[in-house]
Structure 1
């Protein structure tokens, strides 16, 4: 294991509250000079915004360490069709990623419909997306999360909007974020490492661990978020994979890494 791909919400923090040991875990990786990346399905924030959120909780971070589904989606489209015309359904993080990848944001006759979370999503946007996809635009979904945690409880995620567009257009999207391997492969390329040299750390069997397994990485489940002792067997059956390692918390994971380095 030469590097670590780390999930965020449920692994390092819950909302605006740092999970115990997250700051020490990252500090130890830095001291041991173990390459790592923060890998998140979040497509609404820029890497700099994600890093600022981490720093605000006391976790060391910088924008270049953050890999979002928005960045991976933008790269995916740009590699397939440099300079393509894109109808973007999303927020700042996605729009900025697409523009920085050299893609054109348009409202008419796009080559691609790229969709993430959009809290201003309307019926008119749904109708436009349906029309362009049925006319041949490729449908790209940044991440399939159906629900997102918030201070008011769960809210609809990008996957919920994507389900509406899929139902209207009758076309399945290309999924970029976890549990797809596309986001993980993007992060591996950023670190310039092979999949068999990396370990994916996350709290969710259905997304983090499934994506790590799909990419060919070693996987470590931390029981601090979505997957718990109560549902782990059900989640493993649903995901169709098992984590290589299971830890109660980040302290246990940190101790394991120390032993590996001896």
Structure 2
């Protein structure tokens, strides 16, 4: 399982070792799944971005997002048919498309679910609608807790920052789907058809990628190309299974 932002790229900025790392996995026929916390793109959009900006070629079934995991969670909660339920969504196309593909209906007043993720056009009004809908009884789901997102401009606000806005307003925590929580990890293992002991979680963020592996009983490979620094990680009680400065240092 491989993180994207900060591990394979930083926005449009390339991480030189990433392309070679993916191609070595492909040449060795080692199965992999890009397990990102970014909900803004669909898997097809992720593949287009990887090929056009980073010269990395994969298929949509090799990409898994909290959007898909959230849709799966809602669907399973309703016996595979969410068509009689409703949702209000704060987020981008990737999140909205995945959730609405379950057949669930949009409802900004008194929905059964309120899903909040990264929204590049976040407004007070959107947060207000989410807050009121949660207060009326909607289940509050947060896509992922990332406070920052590494891109070519630096560490910009992530979904966790948006969700924290609503959490403060409703005075309760969201139910989180994405890394480091179990729902996305269990769903990703199921998608890969593998057991936890057969997988390693590769990522740059101790708080999400590495903790996700720890929570799910999956070995971890931390790469220092994104969020976490050696100084920060040294303070952690539980250390990653493996640590590298660059993915070129890892023998697949």
User: Does the TM-score normalized on the shorter chain lie above 0.5?
Assistant: yes
CA–CA distance in 2 between the matches of 1:151 and 1:245? Answer: 26
CA–CA distance in 2 between the matches of 1:120 and 1:17? Answer: 23
* Structure 1 position 150, deviation (Å): 4.1
Deviations 1:60-100 (A, max 9, x none): 22211100111111111111133121111111000100112
> Which among 71, 77, 86 is matched to residue 80 of structure 1?
77
RMSD: 1.6
1:53 aligns with 2:83: no
- Report the secondary structure of 1:25's partner residue: helix
- Provide the TM-score with structure 1 as the length reference: 0.89
Q: Identify if the C-alpha distance between structure 1 residues 45 and 72 changes in structure 2 by more than 3 Å, giving closer, same or farther.
A: same
Deviations 1:175-224 (A, max 9, x none): 11112122222211111111111110111111100001111111111122
Alignment coverage as a number of residue pairs: 247
Gaps of 5+ in 2: none
Contact 2:108–2:133 (Cα < 8 Å) also in 1: no
- Report the secondary structure of 1:110's partner residue: coil
* Structure 1 position 231, deviation (Å): 2.8
Deviations 1:81-125 (A, max 9, x none): 331211111110001001122222222320000111112222222
CA–CA distance in 2 between the matches of 1:150 and 1:8? Answer: 11
Contact 1:133–1:171 (Cα < 8 Å) also in 2: no
Q: Match of 1:34?
A: 30
Which aligned segments of 4 or more residues in structure 1 are displaced greater than 4 angstroms? none
1:68 aligns with 2:65: yes
Contact 2:6–2:150 (Cα < 8 Å) also in 1: no
- Provide the TM-score with structure 2 as the length reference: 0.92
* Structure 1 position 151, deviation (Å): 4.2
Q: Match of 2:201?
A: 200
Contact 1:10–1:225 (Cα < 8 Å) also in 2: yes
Q: Identify if the C-alpha distance between structure 1 residues 151 and 243 changes in structure 2 by more than 3 Å, giving closer, same or farther.
A: closer
Q: Identify if the C-alpha distance between structure 1 residues 32 and 150 changes in structure 2 by more than 3 Å, giving closer, same or farther.
A: closer
CA–CA distance in 1 between the matches of 2:241 and 2:156? Answer: 31
Q: Identify if the C-alpha distance between structure 1 residues 224 and 120 changes in structure 2 by more than 3 Å, giving closer, same or farther.
A: closer
Q: Identify if the C-alpha distance between structure 1 residues 120 and 146 changes in structure 2 by more than 3 Å, giving closer, same or farther.
A: same
CA–CA distance in 2 between the matches of 1:125 and 1:226? Answer: 28
* Structure 1 position 229, deviation (Å): 2.7
CA–CA distance in 1 between the matches of 2:88 and 2:220? Answer: 35
- Report the secondary structure of 1:41's partner residue: coil
Gaps of 5+ in 1: 258-262
* 1:62-141 aligned within 5 A: 62-81=59-78, 82-83=81-82, 84-141=85-142
Q: Match of 2:18?
A: 22
